[in-house]
Amino acid sequence: MRKIFAANWKMNKTRPMAAEFAGQLAMALKEGTPEGRLALVFPPFTDIAAVADAFAGINNLAVGGQNFYPAEKGAFTGEISCAMLRDAGANWLLAGHSERRHVFGETDGLIAQKTAFGLEQGFKVMLCVGETLEERNNNQLIGVLQRQLSSAIQPLANGILSKSPDQIAVAYEPVWAIGTGKVAGPDEIREAHAAARKILSDLLGNSSANSVPLLYGGSVNAKNAGSIIALDNVDGLLVGGASLEAPSFLDILRA
């Protein structure tokens, strides 16, 4: 399976800054990404076209939208549609990121609607899941993963995901590790990824579950990326802070 190295820029970078980053990445990767690795950037909406332009024609570089609304169009002030994102050059979408869940109050129900809608619109969807510190301390890790994964994936198990399970990727991001510098340890990552894989197997069957990339996210940087990507069941990394500078993201991509 191709490993996925994803940059989540969150609410950072104006268009010139994004174009500069994307140009540096495109220049460094003009012969392609390291073998078997996809570099995927989730810029703010206003930067997507500039990043997609810089990446055009280079293998294994892709662009995604950090958010979208699950309707074709209409009276949804402040929201963005899949058609708009596609037009700007995105072919991936992020759903269920911890900041959408915990800062903006997105529910499992809305995240399930978004996951289904994005896949139906022909996008690849990266579904983010993960427990808060309180949930971890109350031994709720497995229960949280079960709830977050099954609410989004169960309704699609006999539909779109039975035909194309590789359209979805799952990012395990413990909330307590995001933006804190407290990266999860290897045993914690192994345990959560094994549990997520088992839940996916129960939902989709073994062979489909094995084709879903499982990413780790939360305080990944150029120093720890190599040891995390080498762990069993880790098929990629989702990187926030350390993805904001091109040299740092390139080091992670080459880790």
Give the residue numbers annotated as catalytic, written as ranges: 97, 173
Cβ nearer to ligand PGA, comparing 52 with 238: 238
Q: Which residue is nearest to ligand PGA (CB)?
A: 240
Q: Least CB distance from residue 213 to ligand PGA, whole Å?
A: 15
Q: Least CB distance from residue 33 to ligand PGA, whole Å?
A: 20
C-alpha distances (whole Å) from 209 to each of 88, 102, 121, 235 are 31, 27, 22, 13
DSSP conformation class of 15: H
Residues that bind ligand PGA (CB under 6 A): 8, 173, 178-179, 217-220, 238-242
**Strand ranges for the chain from DSSP E:** 3-8, 37-42, 61-65, 92-95, 124-129, 168-172, 214-217, 236-239
Which two three-digit tokens encode residue 132?
């808060």
Q: Least CB distance from residue 206 to ligand PGA, whole Å?
A: 28
Cβ nearer to ligand PGA, comparing 91 with 248: 248
Q: Least CB distance from residue 158 to ligand PGA, whole Å?
A: 30
Which two three-digit tokens encode residue 222?
């150029």
Which two three-digit tokens encode residue 209?
């579950």
Cβ nearer to ligand PGA, comparing 173 with 204: 173
Angle between the 108-120 and 141-153 helix axes, to the nearest 10 degrees?
40
Cβ nearer to ligand PGA, comparing 106 with 173: 173
